[in-house]
Amino acid sequence: MNTIEFDNSIRTKANLKKTAFLFPGQGSQAIGMGQDIYQAYKPIREFFEMASDIIKINLPKLIFQGEMEDLIMTVNLQPAITVVNLSFLAVLSDESINPDITAGHSLGEYSALRASGALTVEDTLRLVFKRGDLMHRESLKQKGAMHAIIGLPFEDVQELVNRVAGDGKVVSVANHNTALQIVITGSPDPVEKVSSLAADRGARTIPLKVSGAWHSELIRGAEEEFKTFLETATFSKPKIPVVHNVTADVSTDPDEIRTIMAQQLCSPVRWYDSMIRMTENEVENFVEIGPGRVLTGLLRKILPGDYSYNAFNVNNLKNLEKFMRNVT
C-alpha cells in the first residue's frame, strides 16, 4: 500500500479537516444537470462551448434540451457527465477551494484525475469520449446486463459468481459499492442466474438500466484500442492523491496511472475499499461534485457509525454556493 502524502497548502478552510472530492459516473445523470451554473457563470458557458468543439457534440442542447434516451447513450453520457463534473470543479478551483485527496466512481475517475492535475481538461474530455465510443461499440456486439445485489457480503456474491461463471458463461463483479451492495455484470442469462441464487439467500436484486455489461469481459475488445489511445494523452504526476478504482490505492507514477486506467475498463470498481482507504487517512469532509447524490448515499452505508465526517453535495448552484460559504 502506497503512503498518501497530503499538501496542507491546498487544504480547504473547513476547520483544516482533510477533504476528499468525489466524482460520480454513469447513473447520476439527469436532463438539465448543471444548467443553473451554466446560466450563472460565463466561463462555464465558454467551457461547454470548448468541450462541444473537442468532442463534436452540442453538449448544452444534449444535456439541457435533449431526450433522456439520447443522453443515456454511453457515447454521449460519458462526456456529458464529465463536463458537468468539471464545471462545478472549475468554479471551486477559481475560488482556491481544493481537496486533499480525490476519487471518482468508474467514469468519475477521469474527473478525479483532472482534479489532481494528472490530466489536462482537453485530454480528459478526449479520453472519456473515446472510452464511451468504444464501450458503446462493444455493447452492440454482445448483449449484456448488470444487476445490483443488496444484502449479501462481497465474499458470498463472489462465491455465487464463481459457481455460475465458466464454460462460456460470462459473469463477474463490476462494483463493490458497499459492504452489502455488489453489482454484477456479464451476459444476461448468467447474471440472472447469480441474481436468482442471491435471492434464494435472502438478497434483494435489482436489474440496472444499462446498455452494456460494463467492467466485464464482454467489453474486453475495447481494452487494447483504448490502451493505445491513452498513449495520446499526457499523464502528469498528480498534485493531489487519487485513490484508483482498480487498486483502491494511490500512485505518483504517470505511466503506472495510464496502465491502471487501461485496466479500469474491465476491472471491478473497488469503491468500498477506496472509501475505507480514505478513512484510514482520516478524511473528514467528503464532497460529491457533480449530478445526483449517489456517492454520498453510498458513503452513509460504508463509513462506520462512530466515524465523524461531513458530507456535502455540489450538484446545483444553490448547493455550490452553500458549500463555498462553509469553506471560506
Q: What is the pLDDT along the chain (328 residues), one digit of tens a residue?
A: 776 665 544 444 445 689 999 999 999 999 999 999 999 999 999 999 999 999 999 999 999 999 999 999 999 999 999 999 999 999 999 999 999 999 999 999 999 999 999 999 999 999 999 999 999 999 999 999 999 999 999 999 999 999 999 988 999 999 999 999 999 999 999 999 999 999 999 999 999 989 899 999 999 999 999 999 999 999 999 999 999 999 999 999 999 999 999 999 999 999 999 999 999 999 999 999 999 999 999 999 999 999 999 999 999 999 999 999 988 7
Residue 291 lies in a domain: yes
What are the angstrom distances between the C-alpha of 163 and each of 127, 149, 153, 301?
Answer: 36, 16, 16, 28
Domain closes at, from 209, 238, 255: 209
| Residue ranges making up the domain that contains 12 | 8-140+218-327
- pLDDT at res. 245: 98
Q: Are residues 150 and 128 in the same domain?
A: no
Q: Is residue 140 classed exposed, middle or buried when 0-12, 13-18 and 19+ CB atoms within 10 A define those classes?
A: exposed
Q: Are residues 121 and 258 in the same domain?
A: yes
Q: Which residue among 172, 215, 216, 251 is the active-site one?
A: 215
Q: Which residue among 28, 106, 187, 267 is the active-site one?
A: 106
Q: Are residues 63 and 183 in the same domain?
A: no
Q: Are residues 86 and 202 in the same domain?
A: no
Which grid cell is 180? 452489502
Assess contact for 186 and 215: CB atoms under 8 A: no
Q: Are residues 44 and 150 in the same domain?
A: no
What's the number of domains the chain is made of? Answer: 2
- pLDDT at res. 36: 98
Strands 101-104 and 19-23: parallel
Is 215 in the active site? yes
Residues 6+ apart with CB under 8 A from 155: none
Question: In which residue are the cell numbers 447520476 written?
Answer: 28
What's 75's domain CATH number?
3.40.366.10
Q: Are residues 271 and 136 in the same domain?
A: yes
Element (DSSP H or E) covering residue 252: none
Burial profile 265-274: b = 16 or more Cβ within 10 angstroms, e = fewer: bbbbbbbbbb
Domain closes at, from 209, 226, 253: 209
Q: Are residues 123 and 272 in the same domain?
A: yes
Is 106 in the active site? yes
